Amino acid sequence: MRVRRKKNCAVRIAACAHLLITSPESLKADPSAPFGVTRPIHIEIGCGKGAFACGLAVARPDVNLIALERVPDVVCLALERAVAESDKRQADNLRFIIGDAQKIGEWLPEGSVEYIYLNFSDPWPKKRHVKRRLTHPEFIKIYKRLLVPGGRLIMKTDNVAFFEFSLEQFAAEGFEVIRQTRDLGRSPYAAGNIMTEYERSFTERGVPVCMAEAVLSKNA
């Protein structure tokens, strides 16, 4: 999807700098350092405009959430949303990184992450692009190193083929899928679900959303 450039993007990001982790490599020493309080670490990879990240930060004041997005023009909107909704959060528990998902294994220590969220990742449908999928085995191997024993990986997508591909990769890499549905809005898991911008649009148009939650086996 082509992203429209935002006017004064750099200036707008700078105005929200207190929520931005500008040296993510520093997380290697202590992932909770930017928050000032040690809590379980959750990561959203590809946070878009920040609806899910902001919602989760409100719902879970007991965790520190790091939201990753590679497109500055999109991060700009997520940061501004987080600032505008800061009074809703009971804890200072949300930070953003502008960067690529391939780098997270270099930034975070092994066994430091409790949950990883993959919300409406690009399905990269063409075979020549399969390695770019965030549920490709090479990415899942990174997640395995970062997750604590029993850590969780949760994905949502509207692309059924991508969903089926992802389920296969989870199983192959030692994850057990403990919850899954191909129509989240009509499932028992809809209660408490925090929607992304994409998800709200899909739901309004009657497009089913697939969801899977996978837990990392202690022997994986």
**How many Å apart are CA 124 and CA 63, to the nearest integer?**
31
| Residues annotated as catalytic (active site), given as ranges | 122
Q: Which two tokens stand for residue 158?
A: 């509207």
**How many Å apart are CA 61 and CA 90, to the nearest integer?**
6
